[in-house]
Amino acid sequence: MSRHTNWKSPHPSRLTHTFSIVARDPESGEMGVAVQSHWFSVGSVVTWAEAGVGAVATQAFAEISYGPLGLTLMRAGKPAPDTLTSLLATDEQRELRQVAMVDAQGRIAAHTGARCIADAGHETGEGFSVQANMMACPDVWPAMARAYRETTGDLAECMLAALEAGQAVGGDIRGRQSAAILIVKPVSTGRPWADRVMELRVEDHTEPIRELRRLVHLHRAYQHMNQGDELLGTGKIEEALREYRAAAEMVPDIVELPFWHAVTLADLGRVDEALPIFEDVFARNADWAELLTRLPAAGFLRDDAEMMQRILALAP
C-alpha cells in the first residue's frame, strides 16, 4: 500500500491496519490488549496497558500518543469514555484513527473514524471492545465479540479466542504478519516490571496467532517454574516441586525445566528421585552435564563429590 496521501500528519503515525481487543476480566480485574496485523511488530504500536489504570489499542493510521496519553489521563482519574473524547477533540486526523480503551473499573470507549479503510468497525460489550479495519469482510469484529463472550478461561485465553475467531472469518485483507498480547494486574505495586502478567510479541511470522498461542502456553509453563522458586524460597518444598513438575510436563521438549527440577531434588538430598530426570536430560543434551559441574561454585547445588559422581555417571 502506498504511503502517499494528499495531506500531512503533524504527528508520527503508522499504518497499523489490524484487528484487536481491549478487555478487563471481571473476575481477576486484569486488563489487557491482544492484536494481529499484516504489519511488522504490531505490538510496539498498538498495545498499551498499565496496572490499576487501564488498557489502550491505537490502530488504523495510528497515533501512538493515544497509548501513553490515554493511560496518563486515566491514571489521573478520568474515565475511559471521557479520556477518548478528550484526545479525539484535539486530533485533526481523528477520522483516520481507530482507538479503544478500557479503564480499571471496566468502562469502555471506542472510536472508528469515518476514513478508516473498509471493512472497518468495532463492537463493545461489558468490559471489552473489539475493533478492526482493512478487513476482508465485515464479519470480523462481530465474530471476535461473540468468541470473547462465549469463551471460558482467563483473560489471555478469552482474548486469544477473539483473535482466532476474527482470523477464521477472514481477518486482515492483506494477510498476516505479527501479533501481540499485553496483560497487567488490576492494582499497581509501583513496580511496572512486576505488574505485567504477560507481555508477548510475534514480530514476523506466517501464522502469528498460532505462534502467539504457543508462546502463551510456554509462558504459563515458566510461570509454574517461577512460582516454584517462590515457594522454595519460603520453605514450601513439596509445593515447589509440584510446580516444577507441572512446568516440565507442559513443555516436555524443553530440557531446561526438568534439569532445574532435578537440581532442586539433588540439592535437597533426594538424589534417587533426581537421577532418572538427569539421565533423560543428559541423553537429550550432554552439555547440561557440564553445566551441572559449575553449579556448586555458584551456590546453586551443594558441594558433594560423591553425589556429583553418581549424577555424572549418567552422562553419555
Distance separating alpha carbons of residues 243 and 245, to the nearest angstrom: 5
19 lies in the same domain as 165 = yes
91 lies in the same domain as 41 = yes
Residue 306 maps to a domain: yes
95 lies in the same domain as 243 = no
Mean residue pLDDT across the chain:
94
Q: How confident is the model at residue 240 (pLDDT cuts 50, 70, 90)?
A: very high
269: left (phi over 0), alpha (psi -120 to 50) or beta: left
77 lies in the same domain as 150 = yes
Residue 279 maps to a domain: yes
Q: What is the CATH number of the domain that holds 238?
A: 1.25.40.10
Number of domains in the chain: 2
196 lies in the same domain as 237 = no
- pLDDT exceeds 90 at position 195: yes
If one compares 8 and 106, the residue with the highest pLDDT of the two is: 106
54 lies in the same domain as 185 = yes
**Residue 107 CB partners (closer than 8 Å, separation 6+):** 79, 80, 81
132 lies in the same domain as 90 = yes
Residue 5 maps to a domain: no
Give the per-residue pLDDT at 16.
Answer: 72
Q: What percent of the chain has pLDDT over 90?
A: 95
How does pLDDT run across 119-166, given as a tens digit for each residue?
999 999 999 999 999 999 999 999 999 999 999 999 999 999 999 999
* Beta bridge mates, 122: 131
Which residue has cell 502517499?
Answer: 4
The C-alpha cell that represents 291 in the structure block? 553445566
102 lies in the same domain as 197 = yes
Q: How confident is the model at residue 17 (pLDDT cuts 50, 70, 90)?
A: confident
Question: At 91, which helix (H) or strand (E)?
Answer: none
198 lies in the same domain as 243 = no
Containing structural domain, residue 264: 222-312
Name the residue among 269, 229, 224, 258 with its Cα closest to residue 243.
224
- Four-CA torsion 36, 39, 43, 48, nearest 10 degrees: -90
Residue 24 maps to a domain: yes
Residue 73 maps to a domain: yes
How does pLDDT run across 31-69, given as a tens digit for each residue?
999 999 999 999 999 999 999 999 999 999 999 999 999
The stretch 273-286 carries a mean pLDDT of 98
81 and 112 Cβ atoms separated by less than 8 Å: no
98 lies in the same domain as 202 = yes
Question: At 295, which helix (H) or strand (E)?
Answer: helix 287-298
Question: At 28, which helix (H) or strand (E)?
Answer: none
- pLDDT exceeds 50 at position 217: yes
Give the per-residue pLDDT at 10.
Answer: 41
202 lies in the same domain as 226 = no
Residue 1 maps to a domain: no
152 lies in the same domain as 226 = no
